[in-house]
Each structure stands twice: as C-alpha cells, then as structure tokens.
Chains A and B, each alone.
Chain A
C-alpha cells in the first residue's frame, strides 16, 4: 500500500534531522525522571503505611496510574506533536516539494494517510519507551497488567488525536513556526478545556480530552471514551484531506 511507503519515507526523512532525536531523548529523560520520582515516593512514604493499614492499594495505583495520569507525559507528547506540525506539510509546502506529490498519481487521501501514519509512529516511539519503565517493576513486584494496558491504550489514543491535530495545523499554513503555534494552541485548548472552564457543563466535559483520558488511565475502558478519541482523530484527518483538496482548487501556493 502506497500510504505505508509514504509513511516509511516520511519517517526516514524525519529521523535524518537531529531535532526529532533530541526531542525523543528529552522525552525519555523527562519520563524517567518522573517515573523515578514516583517510585522513590512509593518506597519512602507509601509502602510502610500500606503495610500497616493492610490497604488494597499497590504499585499500580500509586506509581503506574499517576505516571500516565499526569500532565508530564502529555506535555512531552504535545511538544513532539508541535515539532511534527513543523515538518509534515508546512515545510513541504514552503520548499515546494509538495508539488511532486500533487503531480504524482496519488490521491490526497493517500498523501494524508502516509503523513499521518508517520506522525503517529513517531509519537508511538515515545510511548514505547515510557511503557518499558513500569514494565521494569515486574522484576521486583506484581503489576496489574490490565490497567497498564488500559493506560497505554489511553496514551496511544491521545497520541493518535495529537498527530492528526498536528497534521491539520501543518496543512493550514506554509510557515512551519505558525504550524507549531497552531498545534500547541489547539492541543492546549483541548487538554485544558474542562479545567479552565470548570463549569460542569456536560457538552464541555465531553469535548475536553482529560475526562476521557483519566477514565482510561484509571482502568475503565469505556467504548465511548475510545470513540471520542477516534472521532477526534478522524475529524482532523478529514479536515486535512479537505484542506489539501482545497489547496488544489484555490491554488494558494501549494
């Protein structure tokens, strides 16, 4: 399938530059620091209390859930998505190399899908690294693997939505820097919607990312939450396809 070939090529060009590597390293350092902080806190503060009170809580509740359930990993993903927005379409438009794809026998859907899969793959590399950290705890303790899988799914769904937002922002403008700001703006709005407004309005609560994300991280895999992320992803992919089609019609400097 040509979209996969496009994605493979896109990843190769992405990793030919130093910035994605740097960001990947930074993401892992931040993730590791946050993870070790949580482990340290568990050993120093919680473990003794838990044993005394014979509490049902364990490592999964006090290390794994907060590890995935905080803003730290989401923030790093947001940064990575913003970097992707810079590269994906905006730069191709600016350098004019998008014309090669437009004049080639490719459908816009294939181009968008190829770019999207590459973006998603890049974000999933972050995720894989972070997933190995709690898995390392298996050496010394027991983990609720089901909840870990739910948390990984949650982060994966967020990454999928972020990649599609980044791709859309990247298709809007030919200036990479503007695409970065747009991505960050849209993603921050989606992440902070509920907290910022805090109105308890059911529509806003449904639109915001965090309520859906938190449910999944806590281990409640609800189909509506998964559907929310899939809708978000498909929606922005659809916008991108329309936008690229529009570039052909309006000719605003492909």
Chain B
C-alpha cells in the first residue's frame, strides 16, 4: 500500500472479565480507503471501534492514528479522528448549527476556522435546510446525518463510523452511502456493519470479524481472475469423475440430480467439456460462471463449526 497509513493496529485485544471480546486484531487503513468491519452481533465490532477512538482502553496491543500512538499521545491522535458511535452522541435540546459548533469546540478548532468548517460540513451532509431546527424534532435519517457531520466537522484524516446505516429507510441508506463514498475520497474511513449491501456499495476492503478475530480479509470488488467455478446443468448428467477426467478440469462434483459444479484451470477447458457433452449425449442445458458473493464468504466464515458446537 503506497497511500499514507492513517490507522494501524497491532495485536489489539480486550476482555470484559472472563469474556474475551476482541482477541488480537491487526488493521491498516490508508488515506482514500474505506474498510468495512463485517460481523455478526457480538463479534467485537463495536468494542474494536471504541478502542480505536479512545473511548475504551485496549487490554493489549497498539493503535496508531495518523502516526500518533493513541495511548502515548492521546490528544494528537484523537485530534485526527472523528467517531460516530452506534447511537449518535447528539444533544436533543440543541439546534443543529449550535451542536456542530460545539462539536468543533471540543475538537479544539480555533474560533477563526470554526464557522467556515461548520458551514462546509452542513453543506456536505445536506443539513443546510435544517440548520436552525432543534435536534429532537429531526427525523432519524437527519439525526444520523448529523451524527456523521459531528464526526467530520474538524476534517479528521480518519473517520470511524459504527453502523452508520442502521435503522434508516432505503432512500436514507442511499444518502448515507453516497456520503461515505464522498468521504473516502480524502479521508480514511472505517465502518462496522452487518449489512452486506453497505459493504458492496461503499467500501474498498472488508474484514470479517468473528468471535473477536479477523478471519477473512478481501477486496470488495470481485477479482477478475478469481476462482474459475462453473455450474452446469444437464438433462442426462454424467458421473462427476467422467468430467473430472477431462483436460483442464481441476474438480467436479455433483450438485443435486442434474447439476455439476466444476473448477477449471482456464476457460479453454470449457471447450472440452462442451464437446464431450455433445459427444456423450449429456444434453447440456445451462452453463454459468459462479461468482462467490460476499454473502457466501461471510456465511461460510461465520458458520458455527461442529467442534465449537460440541
């Protein structure tokens, strides 16, 4: 990664009494990148994010935010991050604009820059129309936007968002995703979610968190030369070993009565399969590339293992 590293953690761990919530997490987020922490409820996402933001002290491990160690230089490190907790830390009785000014004050933004930054943030989060409204009276979507606004008002290099789309209607979700997409252009973003569509729509990389560990990390865009898996359906399906014997076929297994699932070395191997299907009278009816979706990866990763259940 050539981009500036905005967040780096090593061996981050945290236990609550005997229960280990997070056990050894290494993360890296660069500028212009959006990393999603994906996990089931209770996987340790919120605990991890709280540690990143200095709200919760880590049990072990180091956290560096934009080059500052969070424990050794807490003020400098926290200056470089903006945090949206699971419930936005709003003050219900305040007006939108006063609240944002306040959020800038606690980030130690000098008075001379405050007004400008608040105006920019209002515009960026499309909150200009409600600037004089009392927060209590805003809809859930606006409150969530305001939560994001307080996290970015001081233009921190790193933005940490805990479940930014939870409880929003589909249109509001679109809006928040667009905002995240806009943010990652010049900030580093790390967000937690259990909504797979969020990840696919707004993130570059995803780390799947399960039981306090990162068990899978991948780029979100499907790799062009990933697995070459195909699903074939026949009217008169052959035995899998007959297909596996063909040149270039790495694996073949039956799926249901009529379908086969094959892994091939390269696309040329398909010619052999089709030719053999015509020759052997298998009556090929369907041939489709199988892309392993994020959902499949996620479910496979987080499936309870038999030895765990025992």
The chain A residues found within 8 Å of chain B, CB to CB, are 2, 5-6, 9, 13, 16-17, 95-107, 248-249, 251, 254
Map CB proximity to A onto B72-86 as digits: 1 under 8 Å, 0 otherwise. 001110110101011
A104 touches B56 (CB 8 A): no
B108's partner among A13, A101, A105, A254 (CB-CB below 8 A) is: A105
- 9 closest A-B pairs by beta carbon, nearest first, are A100-B89, A97-B89, A103-B83, A104-B106, A105-B78, A103-B53, A96-B87, A105-B75, A105-B79
B57 touches A254 (CB 8 A): no
Q: Which residue of A lies closest to B14 (CB)?
A: A251
Please give 9 more A-B residue pairs, beta carbons under 8 A apart, in addition to A102-B55, A103-B83, A254-B55.
A99-B53, A99-B83, A102-B53, A103-B55, A104-B78, A105-B107, A107-B75, A251-B50, A254-B56
Shortest C-beta distance, A97 to chain B (Å), equals: 4
A100's partner among B56, B93, B106 (CB-CB below 8 A) is: B106
Map CB proximity to A onto B38-51 as digits: 1 under 8 Å, 0 otherwise. 00000000010010
Q: Which residue of B lies closest to A249 (CB)?
A: B57
Map CB proximity to A onto B216-243 as digits: 1 under 8 Å, 0 otherwise. 0000000000000000000000000000
What are 5 sample pairs from A and B whose C-beta atoms fall under 8 A apart? A96-B86, A100-B89, A105-B78, A251-B47, A254-B56
How many residues of chain B get a CB closer than 8 Å to chain A's CBs?
33
A9 touches B79 (CB 8 A): no
**What are the residues of chain B within 8 A of A103 when measuring CB–CB?**
53-55, 78, 81, 83, 85
B85 touches A105 (CB 8 A): no
B90 at the interface (CB under 8 A from A): yes
**What are the residues of chain B within 8 A of A96 when measuring CB–CB?**
85-89
A102 touches B90 (CB 8 A): no
Name the residue in A104, A106, A254 with the highest tally of chain B Cβ atoms < 10 Å from its Cβ: A104
CA distance A96 to B81 in the complex (A): 18
CA distance A16 to B54 in the complex (A): 30
CA distance A104 to B80 in the complex (A): 9
CA distance A2 to B74 in the complex (A): 16
For chain B, residues 9 to 44, give those with C-beta under 8 angstroms from any C-beta of chain A.
14, 16
B282 at the interface (CB under 8 A from A): no
**What are the residues of chain B within 8 A of A9 when measuring CB–CB?**
102, 105
CA distance A104 to B151 in the complex (A): 10
For chain B, residues 53 to 73, give those with C-beta under 8 angstroms from any C-beta of chain A.
53-57
Shortest C-beta distance, A171 to chain B (Å), equals: 15
A101 touches B106 (CB 8 A): yes
CA distance A101 to B106 in the complex (A): 7
CA distance A156 to B66 in the complex (A): 46
CA distance A2 to B92 in the complex (A): 22
B74 touches A17 (CB 8 A): no
**What are the residues of chain A within 8 A of B57 when measuring CB–CB?**
248-249, 251
B94 at the interface (CB under 8 A from A): yes
B150 at the interface (CB under 8 A from A): yes
B150 touches A100 (CB 8 A): yes
CA distance A101 to B86 in the complex (A): 15
B87 touches A13 (CB 8 A): no
Shortest C-beta distance, B189 to chain A (Å), equals: 15
**What are the residues of chain B within 8 A of A105 when measuring CB–CB?**
74-76, 78-79, 106-108
Given known pairs A2-B108, A96-B89, A97-B89, the reply for A248 and B79 (CB within 8 Å) is no
**What are the residues of chain B within 8 A of A251 when measuring CB–CB?**
14, 16, 47, 50, 56-57
Shortest C-beta distance, A175 to chain B (Å), equals: 17
B106 touches A106 (CB 8 A): yes
Shortest C-beta distance, A115 to chain B (Å), equals: 13
**What are the residues of chain A within 8 A of B88 when measuring CB–CB?**
96
Name the residue in B55, B83, B105 with the highest tally of chain A Cβ atoms < 10 Å from its Cβ: B55
CA distance A96 to B55 in the complex (A): 11
Shortest C-beta distance, B97 to chain A (Å), equals: 14
CA distance A6 to B106 in the complex (A): 8
**What are the residues of chain A within 8 A of B83 when measuring CB–CB?**
99-100, 103
CA distance A17 to B93 in the complex (A): 8
Name the residue in B85, B89, B93 with the highest tally of chain A Cβ atoms < 10 Å from its Cβ: B89
B105 touches A5 (CB 8 A): yes
Shortest C-beta distance, B60 to chain A (Å), equals: 13
Shortest C-beta distance, A164 to chain B (Å), equals: 22
Shortest C-beta distance, A20 to chain B (Å), equals: 12
Shortest C-beta distance, B229 to chain A (Å), equals: 43
Q: Which residue of A lies closest to B73 (CB)?
A: A105
B91 at the interface (CB under 8 A from A): yes
**What are the residues of chain B within 8 A of A17 when measuring CB–CB?**
93
